[in-house]
Amino acid sequence: MTRLAPLALLAWLLSAAAVAAPPQLRVHARLQPPNGVMVGGLVELQLDILTDTWFTDAPSLPQLLLDNALVLPPAGQAEHLNERIDGQSFNGMRYRYRIAPQRAQAFEVPALTIHASPAQAVQAMSAQSEPLHFSAQALPGQQPAVAPVVASAMRLSQQVVNSITPLKVGDSITRQLTLQADGALAMTLPAPALGDVAGLSRYPKAPQVTSLDDGRGDFLGGQRVDTVTYRIDRAGTHVLPAVRVNWWDTGTQQMRTAQVPAVTFEAAAGSAGQPVFSLREDLKRLGRGNLVHVSRGWLWALGVLLALMLLAYAGHSLPRRLYQAWHRRRQARQQAWQQSPEYAWQHIGAQLSARPPQLSALYLWLRRSRLGLALGAASPDLRPVLRACYGRAAATQAALPALRLGLTALRNDTRQQRSAPAPALRPLNPVHEKDLP
């Protein structure tokens, strides 16, 4: 047992250190293809974010900007990874930046700082990727200021819609061109040549530029849809020219052309056209004999009928409104009476006749009469009577008549004080009801 104790202690220390060790955050970056591309091609920066635990939230990715290059940041989807590094298991996600160089030069991809929150971490952690570089080479015969589309496949299609058939002067024709390129960014697709055509007025719409994917978030390429509407200003034969787009095929390593044919159509001279309704003839008929004449007697009869209908309506609803108003006033008067001192006074006699005598109505009358809640303080003459009724040697039945007479006198004095004219000046030290004894 003595020999095993140090080994057990060592194992316990190692396990405690492993538990206490903070999680790791690693960032690896690589370029695909690693040796660079042609101008207009696509370089993919793969950013692997790994931890030996798991992520409690999505990592925060930085913005990547490169001069003379277009950069498409990662989409919301990411590829899940499971790797083993130095005998330890790591898992994480792979994000992709897509870079399309626009000039033949060397490009430096700086170190990118990633912020993430691995599980069991005390606070958010950060790590940097290693800086990378690649070169872009010009295509054979490429002009320095023009970057062609580099793709693995390209498709150009068109759709023509007439506003009406046959076309005439004043009608319109709409031409829609759809350009799709596999393995190319949508922002690198060029605008097709949809210029002015003699005898037509051109009205272009804003292009629709979107990315193509496989429905699961994987990038496939780009798409650009251009729409223009031509209004016919002159009769005759009109031709919308053919459209061609040059692009570099990464599979065959040669220049190709995607095109759609020209569109030819005829437009007849526009007719003046006759309106369905003649406004001039209608105005003439209205000004002559199609007016409706109504005699004055019929107008008076109609007015009297409307007045009788209004009176009948008012007479039907007036009694109901009057009854409702009378009922509301009656309820208000009854409520005011039930909250008055006189209403409480009416119940004092019955409560004093009870066995034993009750004083709740008396105290309610005192409060509503603003005499306070101490009967002896309201009328000092009643103190002997109250002592006789409720003292130690009480003679309640003998003292009740005197209590009734004293309350009657107190009530009369209260009435006289209310009927007396109010003083011109307010009292120097006013006493509020809450301060009464």
How do the domains of the chain map onto residue ranges?
Answer: 17-137, 149-267, 341-416
For 149-267, CATH number?
A: 2.60.40
pLDDT at residue 420 above 80?
no
pLDDT in tens, 78-93: 889 998 888 899 999 9
Structure confidence at residue 378 as a pLDDT band (50, 70, 90): low
Per 3-state DSSP, the chain is made up of helix, strand and coil in percentages (nearest 5) of: 30, 30, 40
**Per-residue pLDDT at 76 exceeds 80:** no
Lowest mean pLDDT among 75-84, 173-182, 341-350: 341-350
Q: CA 177, CA 195: separation in Å to the nearest integer?
A: 13
Q: Give CA–CA dist 84/437, Å, rounded.
A: 89
By DSSP bridging, strand 208-213 and strand 200-204 are unpaired
Find the angle CA(130)-CA(134)-CA(137) to the nearest 5 degrees: 175
Q: Which residues of 286-301 are buried (b: 16+ CB within 10 A; e: fewer)?
A: eeeeeeeeeeeeeeee
Q: Note if the bond before 166 is cis, omega within 30 degrees.
A: yes
Average pLDDT, the chain: 81
Which is nearest to 127 in space by CA: 30, 25, 55? 25
pTM across the whole model: 0.54
pLDDT at residue 40 is higher than 50: yes
Least confident of 57-71, 148-162, 336-350: 336-350
Residue 433 in this model has a pLDDT that exceeds 60: no
User: Can you give the pLDDT at residue 393?
Assistant: 55
* Residue-level pLDDT at 349: 77
Higher pLDDT, 170 or 423: 170
Confidence bin at 215 (pLDDT 50/70/90): confident
Q: Describe the crossing of helices 383-390 and 396-419 by its angle, rounded to 10 degrees.
A: 150
Contact 243, 189 (CB under 8 A): no
Indicate if the pLDDT at residue 413 is higher than 90: no
pLDDT (mean) for 266-289: 65
Number of continuous H segments (helices) and E segments (strands) in the chain: 9, 20
Cα(251)–Cα(260) distance, integer angstroms: 22
Q: Is 314 helix (H, G, I), strand (E, B) or coil?
A: helix
- Is the confidence at residue 342, as pLDDT, over 90? no
**Percentage of the chain exceeding pLDDT 90:** 36
Name the nearest CA neighbour of 224 among 271, 185, 195, 263. Answer: 185
Confirm whether 17-137 and 149-267 share one CATH topology.
Answer: yes
Question: For residue 436, what pLDDT is reported?
Answer: 47
Cα separation, 264 vs 320, in Å, equals 81
Taking the C-alpha atoms of residue 203 and residue 233, their distance in angstroms, rounded to an integer, is 13
Q: What pLDDT band is residue 17 in, cutting at 50, 70 and 90?
A: very low
* Among 145, 127, 147, 134, CA closest to 98: 134
pLDDT tens for each residue of 88-122:
999 999 999 999 998 889 999 999 999 998 988 88
Instruction: State yes or no: pLDDT of 38 exceeds 60.
Output: yes
pLDDT of 1 = 46
Which of the pair, 285 or 194, is modelled with greater confidence? 194
* CATH number at 17-137: 2.60.40
Burial 344-372 (b: 16+ CB within 10 A, else e): bbeebeeebeeeebebebbbbbbeebebb
Q: What pLDDT does residue 437 have?
A: 44
Decide: helix, strand or coil at residue 190. coil
Neighbours of 317 (CB within 10 A): 10
